[in-house]
Amino acid sequence: MKNLVKCDVQRCKGCYVCISHCPKGCLTIDSSINSQGYVPVSTVSEADCIGCGMCVLSCPEPFALKVIKENKDRVCKSA
């Protein structure tokens, strides 16, 4: 029942729109800086993730985020 949220830090531009769209507060600003000079997001309290996919849907950067759902009952669509 565990969902995973993955951020490709090299693709993240540090706009934090995903953070504002996550209903469970799973995402936060990381302490690292990527090669483009952006401070990417990272996950906190990943255990709370409900796999809603809003972070992926709201993110402007293709392939910066992905959510891997363990729960097979919920039907989910790509975003």
- Applying CB under 6 A, among 5, 6, 42, 74 the residue interacting with ligand SF4 is 5
In the region spanning residues 14 to 73, those forming contacts with other proteins, defined by CB under 8 A, are: 14-17, 20-21, 23, 36, 38, 51, 53-54, 56-63, 65-72
Q: What is residue 27's three-state secondary structure?
A: strand
* Contact yes or no for 48/19 (Cβ under 8 A): no
Binding site for other proteins (CB under 8 A): 10-11, 13-17, 20-21, 23, 36, 38, 51, 53-54, 56-63, 65-72, 74, 76-79
